[in-house]
Amino acid sequence: MEISELGEFGLIERLAKDIEIKNEGTLQGIGDDCAVLAPTEGMRTVVTTDLLVEGVHFDLTYVPLQHLGYKAVMVNLSDVFAMNAQPRQLTVSLAISSKFCVEDIEALYDGMRKACAKWGVDIVGGDTTASLTGLCISITAIGEARPEDIVLRSGARPNDLICVSGNLGAAYMGLQLLEREKVIYNEQAASLQKQLSEAKAKGDSQRVAVLNSQLSTLSQPDFSGREYLLERQLKPEARGDIIAALRQAGIHPTSMMDISDGLSSELMHICKESRTGCRVYEERLPLDYQTAAMAEELNLNVSTCALNGGEDYELLFTVPLELNDAVQALEDVRVVGYITDADKGCALITRDGGEFALKAQGWNPLKKD
């Protein structure tokens, strides 16, 4: 169904019909000029916004719309968790081009609803409009936390331990794999299209039939054994489980943020805001086997991928040295270094004991290469 058959309000009504309110603080969701929220007594509100643009942040050649919707929500919830807060509501705004049909947007919203359902988040509003160039997604997430629970980037102190959840570099390797296979697929398709044009020009109907058949059955890439890398890129998970584990263990981080642009970049943000330096040990970087194998296949340094890859959406946080035993007991958390005085700078300690200045080489869309 073409979106023009429904119009803006018809589309909104169709997308909103299956949305159920889960939070007591959501008094009024979609349907009025504004959502109505009731702040929980004694709590503070945190708000974050992300904008995703087709051709810049995602490529629909290989990103399913349902996965895109899921990811768009999770990257916002990840920011809320990074403040040691709990997400409660979000708004969704879309700019949609004419190449999309109603079913496409329903698939996108289905992914969003699945992500929201996982963490009990309400979709309470947003906007839809037309786009001349593609799909744009803007999501604003709202969360809450007790004042004493909120964790900023500016609280790290010398001798604090630097901790990372999960593993690093897998999402970047997944992206490299998808981009490589896209190039191969496009080259094969372009070659067949050229041969098809030549066969049509010669009036070779038999050859045309063969080439059309080859085009319709052009082989899809075999990703077996690389499923984890694809999942990390296409369907990331916000680490609310780590926030819950820290709370249960009685561990209050001194600083925290999520890893969206690479460990080096995020750690330097913390050090800048906290006016400190740091030391990170290469041998302690958490890596998955598939990440290491893919890096070797692509002739990339796996440590560089782990430090600068981005889109892992793991949590980076610091804790006082005396909490070392408590942190070591946490599942899926690794200590990768420690905070120093600012005058010592930010450095990576290599496996052979060398020391090199950390550089923020993660993705920066507004910076000239």
153 vs 254, 315, 346, CA distance in Å?
8, 12, 16
pLDDT at 221 (0 to 100): 80
pLDDT at 368 (0 to 100): 59
The 10s digit of each residue's pLDDT in 323-339 is 999 999 999 999 999 99
| Tokens 């007594």 -> residue | 41
pLDDT at 33 (0 to 100): 85
pLDDT at 365 (0 to 100): 53
Domain 3-145 carries which CATH code? 3.30.1330.10
Those residues whose C-beta lies under 8 Å from the C-beta of residue 181, and which sit 6 or more positions away, are: 62, 221, 223
pLDDT at 304 (0 to 100): 94
> 359 near 304, Cβ under 8 Å?
no
Instruction: Classify each residue of 173-196 as buried b or exposed e, where b means 16 or more C-beta atoms within 10 Å of its C-beta.
Output: bbbbbbeebeeebeeeeeeeeebb
Instruction: Classify each residue of 213-222 as buried b or exposed e, where b means 16 or more C-beta atoms within 10 Å of its C-beta.
Output: ebeeeeeeee
63 vs 50, 179, 229, CA distance in Å?
18, 11, 14
Per-residue pLDDT of the chain (369 residues), as tens digits, is 776 777 766 777 777 777 788 888 999 988 888 989 998 999 999 999 999 999 999 999 999 999 999 999 999 999 999 999 999 999 999 999 989 988 999 999 999 999 999 999 999 998 889 998 899 999 999 999 999 999 999 999 999 999 999 999 999 999 999 999 998 888 888 888 888 888 888 888 888 888 888 777 776 787 888 999 999 999 999 999 999 999 999 999 999 999 999 999 999 999 999 999 999 999 999 999 999 999 999 999 999 999 999 999 999 999 999 999 999 999 999 999 999 999 999 999 999 999 999 987 755 554 655
The CATH number for 153-174+230-357, chosen from 2.40.40.20, 3.90.650.10, 1.10.3720.10, 3.40.718.10, is 3.90.650.10
pLDDT at 290 (0 to 100): 96
Those residues whose C-beta lies under 8 Å from the C-beta of residue 162, and which sit 6 or more positions away, are: 267, 278, 280, 316, 318, 335, 336, 337, 338, 339
Helix axes 170-202, 205-216, angle to 10 degrees: 170
Q: Which residues pair with 276 in a beta bridge?
A: 341
